[in-house]
Chains A and B, each alone.
Chain A
Amino acid sequence: MIEGLLVMGGLGAILGLGLAVASKVFYVYVDPRVEAVEELLPGANCGGCGFPGCSANAEAIVAGKSSPASCVAVSQEVIQQIAEIVGAKIELKEPEVAKPNCKYGVFDADRKYIYDGVKDCRAAILINGGEKECPIGCLGLGTCVKACPFGALSIGPDRLPVVDTELCTGCGTCERVCPKQIIKLSSNSLAIVHEYTTEECTAPCQRACPAGIDIPGYIRAIRDGNYSEALIIIKRSNPFPGVCGRICVHPCEYECRRNLVDEAVAINPLKRFVSDWEREKGVHIQVPRAPEREEKIAIIGGGVEGLTSAYLLNRLGYETKVYEATSKLGGILWLGLPENRLPRDVIEWDINGILDAGVQVELNKALGKDITIESIFKEGFSAIMIATGGWDMKMYLSSLLPNGFSPLPGVQLLLDIILRSKKGEDIELGDSVLILEGGEASLQAAAVCKEKGVKNVYVIFRDSDLAATQKEGIEILNHTVLTKMGGVGNKLKEVEICEITEEGKEKEGSRRVIQVDTILMGAGRFPELIYVLKQDSETEWETVSPYAGPEAEQEIGIFRPGEVIADYKAAVEAIGAGRRMTASIHNFLRGLPVEAPKNMLKKYTQVLDVEDVQGVKPVPRKRMPKRKENELEDSFLEIELGYTEAEAREEAQRCLQCGLICYRKN
């Protein structure tokens, strides 16, 4: 009895003491903040932050390797608390939710065979890529549903995943497990900077739209009577629904699949309908804005392109300010279009909608005259976007601005220089001049330069029959493009040029920097460019070219073939270009590469499509009512009157809600 007590007591005492000593000997310091942060994290271990679990992320947050906002599953308040614990500044992120990008379930789509195996998409895909004809079609076996750590997904009656947006935290687990990458995270910001790729389901109209509007999306919203949502979908790509709804050249309607049955859906009049609805209501419907960001962006040119960028960048959370040389925003919209096609109050309404979003404006401020690159950077802007307009706007502006005026530091139009030299004017060109893409006029300009005492003249061509030569200080370089300019204050200092291959790709290692004081551009207008400050400098700047759009035949340099004319042949092209500028600036400021996604749909990209449409009953297109002829005499009243609500919803029913090869059958 005594022995038993002694042994157990002794054993307990020795072990207890041993453990106490061991806890000192083997003590490992754990930052108490790690525990505090881990306590705040949800413990779902979803991996949405990019770390293997909540505790790993907590450690990374405290170590400064991960952002306090990296957890997608917690609320903004918790993020604030975490930031307070680790004493870090946070950049708030717009919440994202999962969005399945397949429109027709297995039963409604064309199938190669009938699958009856293991109920998991990852297993099903092993048999010839799944049962659907469409290679990017959802197999509907719910791999994403099982993977969702928050129970936000379910498979709907049509065997497509349904997202409960209340529960979805945007952790991206579903995106990672889907073997076909059908379910993707989405937000307004992501939609704004989105380019269509070959790996997603797109309708023919969507692919044809130069602005890239989600056309089936907004028509579906109109069909369901949800007009605000329709406007938000449109305004993510195009903040001018009223203007475009009237004057758009609607390439979408030529591609509409209904053309194979009867007539195209009235895509553009439907856009006009929702815009008119908004105007009648008198409230501007806005795309929700992402949390505010630090950077300020200046936009030169208050035309369609500049305003589009200003609006979309504002929606991405940036502070934007438009500098307009004339006394009115809207540029060519006021000058080139008759009132009976585009009433002036419609232009005003759309522009007011952009201003209402919080875009700041300064009128009568011409770059190079009232403001300069240097003065704008001094005001604390992070980037300056150039959208000075096409040649027609240049012609209009030249009557308002002094002779020989040029907005960009060290950049002149070639034709201006030749004409001014013919008039015998004094031209200051500096020691070195680069002449760009001027065809045979380049040589004439080169001669002018030599006459004015320029020491070095470089003439570069993307493509030319002229022999590459070097004589008397004139160097002709073929298959060469301008990729970057650099300078200090208001002076151009250097340019980066690069050789290209026969296919228009960059020749490896051929980039070089040359000292240049003036650039003469062969095109009739100034290029779209982004000026940014060089790292750790307050006066030295360089330029960033926006990535090439779908029309461009080559990707590198400025003035890419195919793109020059395209951006200005219609308002919608300028809107598309403005959206690409927005995405380029956003990518640059976020430290991402300024380039289009690798598999972006381009003009000649072949995508899966159908050649005939079956099982669709012909329904005639609704005509828009027109004003009576006697009312039109001696007036510039609008001729077309727009749909009534009933007509619009009926017309929206005609939409086939196409995917790559799927469409709605009766």
Chain B
Amino acid sequence: MESYIVLVISCIFVNNILLMQYLGNCPFLGVSKRMETAVGMAMAVIFVLVMAGAVTWVVNYYILKPYDLEYLRTLSFILVIASLVQLVEMFLKKNIPALYAGLGIYLPLITTNCAVLGVCLINMKEEYDFIHTLVSSFSYAAGFGLALVLFAAIRERILLARVPKPLQDTSIGLVTAGMLSLAFFGFKGMIH
């Protein structure tokens, strides 16, 4: 039990995928202008990452490992994740239109997102078992969501502030992201 709690805290705070590992910066800057889109994106990432984590674990241990093909991990994971997202999108559109309306526009954005691929590869590198893989995927995604929502809230405030012209929009966004990252450095060393 304890190992799970440590894993959750480690994934969300200490090794935050956005602010400590710098993966998935594209949506971090892209959809963080409004809280509404940030929350939608966070939900979509959680949804996709948990599924991708499970599927890639199966692919790794039941297809690649038996044939000693782990050097094809990155390539096959990209293929699997992209197909999975496509499939999920089609499934949602047909069967759960309400969920599709909420997450639909974010799903294609995640198809080839490095945060998703990155987490799947980390899971394999750390050699987690299946349950740990699920917990880790969920927690990394939650950490992604946390960082995105925090950042969106700050950016909404920045909109109202008087920012010097050359620093407006993405520039001030990057500066803010850097500071947020520095703040997360405070968690460093909490868990080894």
Assess A119 versus B160: contact at CB under 8 Å? Given A19-B86, A28-B94.
Answer: yes
Most buried by B among A28, A120, A123: A28
- Per the 8 Å Cβ criterion, residues 81-114 of B in contact with A are 83, 86-87, 90-91, 93-95
Whether B122 sits at the interface, judged by CB under 8 Å, is no
Q: Which of A8, A28, A123 is close to B76, meaning CB atoms less than 8 Å apart?
A: A8
Q: Do B76 and A26 have beta carbons less than 8 Å apart?
A: no
Q: Do A26 and B93 have beta carbons less than 8 Å apart?
A: yes
B74 to chain A, nearest CB (A): 12
Report A-chain residues with C-beta under 8 Å of the C-beta of B161. 118-119
Q: Complex: how many Å from CA A442 to CA B166?
A: 82
Q: Do B69 and A3 have beta carbons less than 8 Å apart?
A: yes
Q: Complex: how many Å from CA A196 to CA B72?
A: 74
Q: Do A28 and B69 have beta carbons less than 8 Å apart?
A: no
- Per the 8 Å Cβ criterion, residues 55-75 of B in contact with A are 59, 63-64, 67-69, 71-72, 75
- Per the 8 Å Cβ criterion, residues 1-32 of A in contact with B are 3-4, 7-8, 11-12, 15-16, 18-19, 22-23, 25-28
Instruction: Please classify the interface of chain A as helix (H, G, I), strand (E, B), loop, or mixed, using the class held by over half of its residues.
Output: helix
**Count of chain B residues near A, Cβ 8 A:** 24
Task: Kindly report which residue of chain B lies nearest to residue A7, judged by CB atoms.
Answer: B69
Whether B125 sits at the interface, judged by CB under 8 Å, is no
Q: How many contacts between A and B, using CB within 8 angstroms?
A: 54
Task: Kindly report which residue of chain B lies nearest to residue A14, judged by CB atoms.
Answer: B83
Report B-chain residues with C-beta under 8 Å of the C-beta of A8. 72, 75-76, 79
Whether A569 sits at the interface, judged by CB under 8 Å, is no
Report A-chain residues with C-beta under 8 Å of the C-beta of B59. 11
Most buried by A among B69, B71, B95, B161: B69
Whether A344 sits at the interface, judged by CB under 8 Å, is no
Assess A22 versus B76: contact at CB under 8 Å? Given A7-B64, A28-B93.
Answer: no
Q: Do B69 and A18 have beta carbons less than 8 Å apart?
A: no
Q: Which of B72, B83, B159 is close to A19, meaning CB atoms less than 8 Å apart?
A: B83
Q: Do B79 and A7 have beta carbons less than 8 Å apart?
A: no
Whether A89 sits at the interface, judged by CB under 8 Å, is no
Binary contact readout B138-173 vs A (1 if CB under 8 angstroms, 0 otherwise): 000000000000000000000111100000000000
Report B-chain residues with C-beta under 8 Å of the C-beta of A16. 83
Q: Do B159 and A18 have beta carbons less than 8 Å apart?
A: no
Whether B180 sits at the interface, judged by CB under 8 Å, is no
Most buried by B among A7, A8, A18, A23: A7
Whether A146 sits at the interface, judged by CB under 8 Å, is yes
Q: Do B80 and A22 have beta carbons less than 8 Å apart?
A: no
Q: Do B94 and A26 have beta carbons less than 8 Å apart?
A: yes
Q: Do B162 and A15 have beta carbons less than 8 Å apart?
A: no
Most buried by B among A8, A12, A23, A26: A26
Q: Do A22 and B90 have beta carbons less than 8 Å apart?
A: yes
Report B-chain residues with C-beta under 8 Å of the C-beta of A146. 159
Q: Do B162 and A27 have beta carbons less than 8 Å apart?
A: no
Report B-chain residues with C-beta under 8 Å of the C-beta of A12. 79
Task: Kindly report which residue of chain A lies nearest to residue B90, judged by CB atoms.
Answer: A26
Assess A15 versus B69: contact at CB under 8 Å? Given A22-B87, A22-B91, A27-B94.
Answer: no
A534 to chain B, nearest CB (A): 43
Report A-chain residues with C-beta under 8 Å of the C-beta of B162. 119
Q: Complex: how many Å from CA A342 to CA B168?
A: 64
**Seed contacts A8-B79, A11-B59, A146-B159; 12 additional CB < 8 Å A-B pairs:** A4-B67, A4-B69, A7-B69, A8-B76, A22-B86, A22-B87, A25-B94, A26-B90, A26-B94, A27-B94, A118-B161, A123-B160
Q: List 16 A-B contacts (CB under 8 A).
A: A3-B67, A3-B68, A4-B67, A7-B72, A8-B79, A11-B59, A12-B79, A18-B87, A22-B90, A22-B91, A26-B90, A26-B91, A26-B93, A27-B94, A28-B93, A118-B160
